Amino acid sequence: MALSVNSMQAQDVVDLNGIHPKGLQVPYSSGRLLPVIKVPNNACDCHHHIYDPVRFPYVPNDVRNQPPAMVDAYRLLQKKLGLTRNIIIQPSAYGVDNACTLDALHQMGTNARAVVVVSPKITDEELSRMHNLGARGIRFNIATGAGGDREAIMSLSERVNKFGWHVHFWMEANDTVKMESFLNQLPSQIVFDHRGHLPQPEGINHPAFQTICNLISKGKTWVKLSGLYQDSKVGEPTYADTVKVGQAFVKFAPERMLWGSDWPYPSIFSEHKPWPDDANMLNLLVQQAPDVSVQQKILVDNPSILYGFDT
C-alpha cells in the first residue's frame, strides 16, 4: 500500500531513528543526499511557498496549474535540510487571497512567519488579524506586472510600517534602478528576493547591484540569497554566476543577508526544467559565506531580527 507523506515522515522517525543514511526524497527536489553544511539551531528558510489547489483554488487567470505543495511535504524539506524556522511567501497563483498561506501559517505554528499580498483597500483590522497570525511583510510582484502603482505601494508601506512589517519586491533589476529614488522614500524596511534578480552575465556589474547596496547602506534593506537557479546561466551544480553575486552581497553587508530555498520552485515548473537539488543549494552558502559566524547571521540572527522570532 502506498504511503502518504505523513506516514513516510513517521516511518523515518520510528524505523530509521531519524533520517535514512542515504538521504531523504523530498517532493520537487532532484537530490536525496543531506546537506554537508553544518546547519545551526533555529536556521530559517526565508523563502518558500505553499500550494493547496484542492482546498484553495487558484485565481482564474492563473493557468500554470502549479502542483500541490502542502505543509506536510514542506516539513520533509525542513527535516532533510535541518531547518527549524520558515517564511511562507504568498505565491502569485493566489493573487490577494491569502487563505492558503494563512492556513499554512496556522498549521506550522510559532516557528513560521508569512509575507502576504494585499489590496490597497485592505483594512487595518485585517492587517492586524494577519499580524496576530504571523504575517510580517507584504509582497509586490512587479516582475509580473502586478502591484506597480507607486502611490499604492507608498500608502501600504506607511500602513504596514506601523506593524513593523517590511515590503518585499519581486522585480527585474532594471526596474530596481528606475525606482531607486522612490524606494529611498519608503518608510518601511525593504526586502529583495533572489539577489535582486541581477541578470547574467552582467551580475554585479549591473547598476542594480550598486542601487541595492546604496539602499542597504541607509539601513533599510535586506537581500535574499535564495533560488540560485534564478537568473543563472551556468546552472547546476555550481551556479557559479549567481554564487558570485551572493559572495559580493555577503562581503558588502553580511548583517543584511537572508537565505531561502524557493521550494517548490514554481519558475522551474513553469519553464519545464528539471527540479534543482535543494541540499546542493544550501551547501553553496558556504561558498558565499565561508565564515561560520556569517552563516549563523544569515541563517539565524538576521531572520530573527527581520521576522521577529525572538519577540
Q: What is the pLDDT of residues 236-282, one digit of tens each?
A: 999 999 999 999 999 999 999 999 999 999 999 999 999 999 999 99
Is the model's pLDDT at 143 over the cut of 90?
no
Q: What is the mean pLDDT of residues 96-104?
A: 98
Average pLDDT over residues 275-292: 97
Average pLDDT over residues 121-150: 88
pLDDT at residue 22 is higher than 80: no
- CA–CA distance, 251 with 306 (Å, rounded to integer): 20
* Whether residue 137 has pLDDT greater than 70: yes
Q: What is the mean pLDDT of the chain?
A: 91
Across 275-296, average pLDDT: 97
Alpha-carbon distance of 228 to 118, in angstroms, equals 27
DSSP assignment of 125-194 equals HHHHHHHHHTEEEEEE-GGGT-S--HHHHHHHHHHHHTTT-EEEE---HHHHHHTHHHHHH-SSEEEESG
Q: What does the pLDDT read at residue 27?
A: 95
| Omega before residue 264 within 30° of 0, cis | yes
pLDDT at res. 15: 33
Model confidence over 26-45: pLDDT tens digits? 999 999 999 999 999 999 99
pLDDT of residue 148: 65
DSSP sequence for 16-80: HSSS-TT----TT-S--SPP-S-PPTT-EEEEE--B-TTTSPPPTT--S-PPPB-HHHHHHHHHH
The residue assigned the cell 531561502 is: 260
pLDDT score of 42:
97
Domain 40-307 fold is TIM Barrel (3.20.20)
- Per residue in 53-92, pLDDT tens? 999 999 998 888 899 999 999 999 999 999 999 999 999 9
Tell me what pLDDT residue 145 has: 61
Bridge partners of residue 48, in order along the sequence? 88
Q: In what order do the strands lie in the sheet with 221-226?
A: 44-48, 85-89, 112-116, 135-140, 166-169, 189-192, 221-226, 257-260
The answer to whether 296 and 290 have CB atoms below 8 angstroms apart is no
Residue 20: predicted pLDDT: 66
**pLDDT score recorded for residue 2:** 35
Give the span between the Cα atoms of 47 and 264, in whole angstroms.
10
- Judged against a pLDDT cut of 50, whether residue 9 lies above it is answered with no
User: Of 218, 216, 192, 196, nearest to 207 (Cα)?
Assistant: 196
**Which pLDDT value is given to residue 311?**
57
Q: Which helix (H) or strand (E) holds 223?
A: strand 221-226
Distance CA 110, CA 123 (A): 24
Output the pLDDT for position 16: 35
Residue whose C-alpha is closest to residue 259's, from 218, 220, 199, 303: 303
Task: Report the candidate in 193, 203, 273 with the shortest Cα–Cα distance to residue 240.
Answer: 203
